[in-house]
């Protein structure tokens, strides 16, 4: 997309540690990426790869046991990690907003939808009740909700899953943020609704010029909406680049294996078997070194256990952290 | 092929309390479902949350009684078969291997449970059967004394499958057995289920919302919407020439990992029906791109097709979506 524009968000060397009884869990290690205005970055990976911790770190909403061990998060010219809590609270929901995975637990059950939507606007825009209500009604109309006035008076439990997820989107849009972070926003939804919600997000993103970081494990979703992709494994970004490059020429054995696993009509292998990756995700507790994928990798060799896995990059900015020159 | 299971006009009602003094509302989770399951086939039941597919599975397992209609196992009413002999022949595999295994029992105890319940074999034979079954599903026999918490999600689902199969049932009801697993593990479990089905000549009722899984595994597909089966047919027919607009939308929603195609336009309305207050006429009409006046007034009849049926007044030719999934990629 607009590759000339300066990045809206630039993350450098981000590491997140979590204190667990057995020691320190290195949830995210040395993650770096940037997002330009209006761009869509998809962060892909399986459960436990650190993608949710990365997004919570950007929002500074990490659970108490977790802490940012290192890194810089430059957003609109400021380092988010240097801000006071109050300054961060002024940005959150205002310039950057988050859509959580489960709309049932992230909406407050004892307040109406309207109260929750309007609170954001009143807090950040110092707007009155009527102005906030008008903004909420406008957005609900924009996201295709019939009778917005009625919906705003309802409580979360009175809405279906698809409607609640739309409300989360509306809430994130209230103050027209420049960046939205969406953590698995459609995972709990049905496939037809998933497509409708993703189209809606893409449409609103174009209209309001927002950048989007979408956290997901669904490679089908990624292929259809991402400009850029970052693949995470074991808390590290193992491959990153333009979406088309990642899908057509995966440069890391993990990305390649993951793509082979996706069942899709007409994509079963010739022998009628589905792909899978043997073994299990390594523990991230204690000292971790070398390539985290090596114990499941077909191409693993002795150099994979070394500390300095080279970062290979091509002219198009497609990077992969792997000892192999190229994936066979 | 004789049907091993027959469902005749099966309905299930739930009373939903809306308040202390309000009359309970009625939710029809399954509505007049008629269906045959043939011996040795994989029948997939597809539909969205709240479409009644889990309720249907539970009724086949005997965990929920139908409010109306009848389920027959080998021609005999399921209600008269008795719990013990029914569970000997029909076994479940549930979605979440984290909550469907007893955390305080070892893997060996969990898998041996059906043998205890049905008093099959002496202690030594049971142990042997458990070990054989563990090997068969790809679990190292060394795990026999482990607890579920020590296993990964994929391993736990293998335990659930071993437990279901150790008593040598004929029918497995699998309710979304892979949707709680990571993509890298899903394939292993689906491959295993397919191998076991073929080598043991099992019958599967396979509940899922993932059409890619259906294509891989199923012989026939029943599509449910708001408690009804709206279309039934062979997997091949449903994947290449679906006749119900909802089946067409489901097929159009499959996002294959191909960059640059964008998101399909399903042409679906956004008015989601309330299961407590289903719309008159065809239940799908508020979202249907092809709905006409008759769809709004009268529920469609069951129209037989080559290998099943469809309930739709219009039965439109498949509307090509923006990035046409049906033509470009379906190789059946």
In a domain, B43, yes or no: no
Is the pLDDT score of A252 beyond 80?
Answer: yes
Using CB atoms within 10 A of its CB, is residue B284 exposed (0-12), middle (13-18) or buried (19+)?
buried
C-alpha gyration radius of chain B:
21
Confidence at residue A310, expressed as pLDDT on a 0 to 100 scale: 84
pTM for the whole structure? 0.87
Confidence of residue B322 (pLDDT cuts 50, 70, 90): very low
* A195 contacts B255? CB cut-off 8 A: yes
How far B200 CA lies from chain A's nearest CA (Å)? 18
What percentage of chain A reaches a pLDDT higher than 70?
95
Is the pLDDT score of B332 beyond 70?
Answer: no
Report the SS3 class of residue A152.
helix
The two tokens of residue A119 are 């609170």
In a domain, B3, yes or no: no
The two tokens of residue A297 are 């990798």
Is the pLDDT score of A318 beyond 70?
Answer: yes
Higher-pLDDT residue of A252 and B271 is: A252
Q: pLDDT tens-digit profile of A291-307?
A: 999 999 999 999 999 88
Per CB-CB distance under 8 Å, the chain B contacts of A192 are 48, 249-250, 253, 266, 268
In a domain, B1, yes or no: no
In a domain, B291, yes or no: yes
How far A70 CA lies from chain B's nearest CA (Å)? 29
In a domain, B225, yes or no: no
* A192 contacts B249? CB cut-off 8 A: yes
Confidence at residue B317, expressed as pLDDT on a 0 to 100 scale: 82
Confidence at residue A72, expressed as pLDDT on a 0 to 100 scale: 96
Confidence at residue B1, expressed as pLDDT on a 0 to 100 scale: 62
Give the domain range for residue B330.
243-332
Confidence of residue B272 (pLDDT cuts 50, 70, 90): low
> What is the C-alpha separation between A121 and B331, in angstroms, rounded?
50
Short-list B112, B136, B114, B134, CA closest to B124: B112
How far A158 CA lies from chain B's nearest CA (Å)? 10
Per CB-CB distance under 8 Å, the chain A contacts of B257 are 219-220, 222-223, 247, 259, 262, 264
Confidence of residue A12 (pLDDT cuts 50, 70, 90): very high
Average pLDDT, chain A: 89
Count contacts between A and B (CB, < 8 Å): 147
Sign of CA dihedral B282, B287, B290, B291: positive
Question: Which of B272, B325, B330 lies closest to A162 in CB terms?
Answer: B272
> Which of A150, A191, A229, A275 is most worth mutating to test chain B (most B CB atoms within 10 A of its CB)?
A191
Confidence of residue A265 (pLDDT cuts 50, 70, 90): low
Segment A121-136 mean pLDDT:
94
Higher-pLDDT residue of B275 and A141 is: A141
Using CB atoms within 10 A of its CB, is residue A163 exposed (0-12), middle (13-18) or buried (19+)?
buried
Higher-pLDDT residue of B206 and B79 is: B206
In a domain, B280, yes or no: yes
Q: pLDDT tens-digit profile of A102-120?
A: 777 789 999 999 999 999 9
Distance of CA A202 to the CA centre of its chain: 15
Please tell me the total number of residues recorded for chain B in this structure.
Answer: 332
Per CB-CB distance under 8 Å, the chain A contacts of B187 are 261, 263, 273-276
Question: Which of B255, B266, B329 lies closest to A221 in CB terms?
Answer: B255
Average pLDDT, chain B: 89
Segment A143-161 mean pLDDT:
85
Confidence of residue B48 (pLDDT cuts 50, 70, 90): confident
Which residue in chain B is spatially nearest to A282 when comparing CA positions?
A: B152
Confidence at residue B330, expressed as pLDDT on a 0 to 100 scale: 31
In a domain, B173, yes or no: no
Confidence at residue B326, expressed as pLDDT on a 0 to 100 scale: 37
Is the pLDDT score of A277 beyond 80?
Answer: yes
The two tokens of residue A292 are 């985290």
* B48 contacts A191? CB cut-off 8 A: yes
Confidence at residue A187, expressed as pLDDT on a 0 to 100 scale: 77
The domains found in chain A, sorted by start residue, are: 9-95+175-321 (3.40.50.300), 105-174 (no CATH)
In a domain, B106, yes or no: no
Using CB atoms within 10 A of its CB, is residue B178 exposed (0-12), middle (13-18) or buried (19+)?
buried
**Total count of domains within chain B:** 1
Confidence at residue B304, expressed as pLDDT on a 0 to 100 scale: 94
Q: Which secondary-structure segment (H or E) carries A79?
A: strand A78-79
Is the pLDDT score of B320 beyond 80?
Answer: no
> What is the C-alpha separation between A156 and A133, in angstroms, rounded?
17
Per CB-CB distance under 8 Å, the chain A contacts of B260 are 223, 244
Indicate the range of A123-137, B68-82, B204-218, B314-328 predicted with least confidence: B314-328
Is the pLDDT score of B319 beyond 60?
Answer: no
Segment A313-324 mean pLDDT:
92
* A280 contacts B263? CB cut-off 8 A: no
Confidence at residue A268, expressed as pLDDT on a 0 to 100 scale: 52
Per CB-CB distance under 8 Å, the chain A contacts of B263 are 195, 198-199, 202, 224-225
Distance of CA B65 to the CA centre of its chain: 17
């Amino acid at each position: 997309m607009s590759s000339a524009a300066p990045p809206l968000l630039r993350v450098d060397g981000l590491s997140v540690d979590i204190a667990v009884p057995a020691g320190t869990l290195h949830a995210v290690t040395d993650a770096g990426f940037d997002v330009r205005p209006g761009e869509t970055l998809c962060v892909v990976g399986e459960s436990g790869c650190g993608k949710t911790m990365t997004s919570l770190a950007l929002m500074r909403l990490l659970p108490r046991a977790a802490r940012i061990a290192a890194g810089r998060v430059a957003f609109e010219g400021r380092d988010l990690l240097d801000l006071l809590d109050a300054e961060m609270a002024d940005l959150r929901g205002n310039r950057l907003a988050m859509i959580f995975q489960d709309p049932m637990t992230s909406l407050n059950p004892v307040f109406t939808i309207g109260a929750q939507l309007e609170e954001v606007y009143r807090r950040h825009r110092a707007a009155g009740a009527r102005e906030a209500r008008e903004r909420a009604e406008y957005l609900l109309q924009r996201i295709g909700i019939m009778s917005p006035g009625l919906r705003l008076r309802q409580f979360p439990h009175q809405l279906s899953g698809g409607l609640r997820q739309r409300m989360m989107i509306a809430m994130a849009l209230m103050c027209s943020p420049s960046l939205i972070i969406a953590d698995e926003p459609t995972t709990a939804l049905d496939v037809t609704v998933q497509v409708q919600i993703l189209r809606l997000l893409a449409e609103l993103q174009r209209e309001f010029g927002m950048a989007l970081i979408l956290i997901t494990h669904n490679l089908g979703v990624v292929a259809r909406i991402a400009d850029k992709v970052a693949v995470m494994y074991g808390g590290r970004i193992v491959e990153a680049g333009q979406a088309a490059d990642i899908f057509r020429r995966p440069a890391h054995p993990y990305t390649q294996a993951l793509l082979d696993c996706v069942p899709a009509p007409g994509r079963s292998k010739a022998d009628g078997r589905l792909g899978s990756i043997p073994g299990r995700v390594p523990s991230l507790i204690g000292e971790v070194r070398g390539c985290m994928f090596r114990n499941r990798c077909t191409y693993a060799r002795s150099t994979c256990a070394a500390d300095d896995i080279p970062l290979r990059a091509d002219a198009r900015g497609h990077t992969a952290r792997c000892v192999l020159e190229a994936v066979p | 092929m004789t049907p091993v299971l027959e469902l005749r006009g099966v309905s299930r009602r739930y009373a939903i309390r809306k308040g202390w003094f309000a009359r309970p509302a009625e939710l029809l989770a399954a509505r007049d479902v008629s269906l045959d399951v043939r011996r040795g086939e994989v029948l997939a039941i597809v539909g969205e949350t709240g479409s009644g597919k889990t309720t249907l599975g539970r009724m086949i397992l005997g965990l929920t009684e139908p409010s109306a209609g009848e389920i027959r196992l080998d021609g005999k009413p399921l209600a008269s078969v008795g719990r013990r002999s029914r569970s000997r022949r029909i076994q479940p595999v549930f979605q979440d291997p984290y909550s469907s295994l007893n955390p305080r029992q070892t893997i060996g105890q969990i898998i041996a449970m059906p043998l205890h319940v049905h008093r099959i074999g002496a202690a030594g034979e049971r142990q042997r059967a458990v070990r054989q079954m563990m090997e068969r599903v790809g679990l190292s026999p060394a795990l026999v004394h482990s607890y579920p918490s020590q296993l990964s999600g994929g391993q736990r689902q293998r335990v659930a499958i071993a437990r279901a199969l150790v008593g040598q049932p004929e029918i497995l009801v699998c309710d979304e057995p892979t949707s709680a697993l990571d993509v890298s593990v899903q394939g292993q479990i689906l491959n295993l289920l397919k191998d076991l089905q073929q080598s043991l000549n099992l019958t599967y009722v396979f509940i899922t919302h993932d059409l890619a899984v259906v294509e891989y595994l199923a012989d026939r597909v029943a599509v449910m919407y708001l408690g009804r089966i709206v279309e039934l047919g062979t997997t091949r027919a449903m994947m290449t020439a679906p006749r119900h607009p909802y089946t067409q939308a489901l097929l159009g929603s499959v996002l294959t990992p191909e960059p640059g195609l964008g998101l399909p336009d399903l042409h679906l309305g956004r008015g989601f029906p309330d299961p407590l207050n289903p719309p008159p006429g065809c239940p799908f009409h508020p979202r249907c791109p092809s709905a006409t006046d008759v769809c709004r007034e009268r529920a469609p009849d069951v129209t037989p097709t080559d290998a099943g049926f469809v309930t739709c007044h219009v039965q439109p030719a498949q509307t090509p979506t923006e990035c046409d999934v049906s033509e470009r990629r379906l190789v059946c």
